[in-house]
Homo-oligomer: A and B are copies of this chain.
Amino acid sequence: MRDIVDRVRPEVHMALVHHPVHNKTGDIVTTAVTNLDIHDNARSARTFGLSSYHIVTPLSAQIELVRRILGHWTAGYGGKRVPTRLEAMSLIRISRTLDETIEAVIAGRNVKPYIVATGARRRATPVVPYAQLRKRMQEEAGPYLLLFGTGYGLAEPVFDLCDAVLEPIGDPDGWNHLSVRSAAAITLDRLLGER
């Protein structure tokens, strides 16, 4: 049975955070933008009907790189050659900080997005099961903002901004090292995929 009858089509945004995130030793760092993170997540975002996909990095050189990639796909030859990719890449936005992302999601409206962090580590803070957030998204239109960390995961200050934290995917006491591309795809499917 597909639960598509009478359900709300929620407004969902996602952000891939390059700062502040942890490195292997737990320091707070800025990671480099990865071309395939841009593409794969944009394709997942488009598949599951997201409203935007924000690349968050404070580094001007990295922002310039993302702009060049986007230019190729949204205004240049790439989008002409593969129009479906243009559709996915059109969802991408660039922010210097998470605050900028949140402002862009609000976009002048009188709304507060429901902000949800993801991560591979088990946390003491309240965790929302996927089924519960999925149900909420079917009942309340949002906006929602899903945060994904690069490197070794979102740094602690990010969690202070969040209304909820999703459970880790896989066994948090076992082997738990999905790529952020795979984790984001699974998260969107669990929340928004047809059942």
A interface list, Cβ under 8 A from B: 36, 39-40, 43-44, 46-48, 84-85, 87-88, 169-171, 175-179, 181-186, 189-190, 193-194
Partner of A177 from B85, B169, B186, B189 at Cβ < 8 Å: B85
Chain B residues, Cβ within 8 Å of A178? 43-44, 47, 185
Asked if residues A40 and B87 are in contact (CB atoms below 8 Å), the reply is no
Question: Within the complex, what minimum Cβ distance (angstroms) separates A136 from chain B?
Answer: 18
Chain B residues, Cβ within 8 Å of A170? 47-48, 193-194
Chain B residues, Cβ within 8 Å of A44? 178-179, 182
Question: Within the complex, what minimum Cβ distance (angstroms) separates A168 from chain B?
Answer: 10
Bound: A40/B186 CA distance, A = 13
Which of A46, A85, A179 has the most C-beta atoms of chain B within 10 angstroms of its own C-beta?
Answer: A179
- Copies of this chain in the oligomer: 2
Partner of A46 from B87, B175, B181 at Cβ < 8 Å: B175
- A–B complex contacts, Cβ < 8 Å, 11 sampled: A39-B179, A46-B177, A47-B169, A47-B170, A47-B175, A85-B177, A88-B177, A169-B193, A170-B194, A171-B194, A186-B186
Further contacts, 15 of them, CB under 8 A, given A46-B175, A171-B194, A182-B182: A39-B179, A40-B181, A40-B182, A44-B178, A47-B177, A47-B178, A84-B175, A84-B177, A85-B177, A170-B194, A178-B185, A181-B181, A183-B185, A185-B185, A186-B193
Question: Within the complex, what minimum Cβ distance (angstroms) separates A88 from chain B?
Answer: 7
